[in-house]
Amino acid sequence: MRIKVTLSYDGTNYYGYQHQPGKITVQDTFEEKLSVILKEHTKTVASGRTDGHVHALGQVLHFDTSIKMKEANWMRALNSLLPDDIRVKNVEFVSDDFHARFSVVKKEYRYYITLGEYDLFKNNYSAYYEKLDVSKMKDATKYFLGTHDFTSYSRYVDKKPTIRTIYKAEIVEKEDGLEIIFIGNGFLKYMVRIMVGTLIDVGLGKKSATDVLKILDAKDRTKASKTASPNGLFLYKVYYKEGE
């Protein structure tokens, strides 16, 4: 039996989602608690990794088991064992051909920036800037839309496909800052954070909106801005085909 789990977590205290020897990760923590229920260690498969200190509202994973419990009981059992900064939001029985990673059709990331007065209580969940030119940043987002080679906006891409499609790139103004939304068919390592870092430089007047496109065309990581802080990044939702 294959079980699909939707997971949220506060990434502050974790070195990312995926297992890393000698470091505390979300995957290792989840699998440790799952093994208590299953009485043996069971590997899980996630939709993808998140970087150290990045958060998730809708990470998805699956695992296989012969143990039969109602979906609600699985969720209750897991949440009773997991630490307070990891929470199961949903448990669903799925067909054996569902794959948390390979069945993904879209992913949505959101990045949060606090503007104005510094709020130390938001430090782990947003980046902070006193002032940004939001109008120029909004203008710049349109250049990310469509299918491009994102070599300039990624790291460690040697011999890996770098073509990605961005379906949505939007900046929403909030009372206390900005919410930057990206939806795409996939994202390279650090890609969202490098795109955000470049948008921030546009907002600071260090780059122009059209520089976003020039950087894409350059296919050179050194042309883009520095990687934005992980604190403000959330894996918001993972999309699958209807019925999955």
Residues 70, 154: Cα–Cα separation, whole Å: 42
Helix boundaries (H) for 24-133:
26-38, 71-81
- Tell me whether residue 176 is one of the annotated catalytic residues: no
Catalytic residue among 10, 28, 51, 220: 51
Residues 38, 34: Cα–Cα separation, whole Å: 6
Distances (CA, A) of 189 to 20, 34, 48, 153: 16, 28, 10, 9
Helix boundaries (H) for 86-153:
134-141
Are 185 and 106 in contact by the 8 Å Cβ rule? The answer is: yes
Residues 8, 16: Cα–Cα separation, whole Å: 13
Structure-token pair, residue 180: 């930057």
Residues 191, 59: Cα–Cα separation, whole Å: 17
Backbone angles phi, psi at 139, to 5 degrees: -65, -35
Query: Which residues, at least 6 apart from 174, have a Cβ–Cβ distance to it below 8 Å?
Result: none
Query: Which residues, at least 6 apart from 95, have a Cβ–Cβ distance to it below 8 Å?
Result: 2
Structure-token pair, residue 214: 């020039």
Active site amino acids: 51
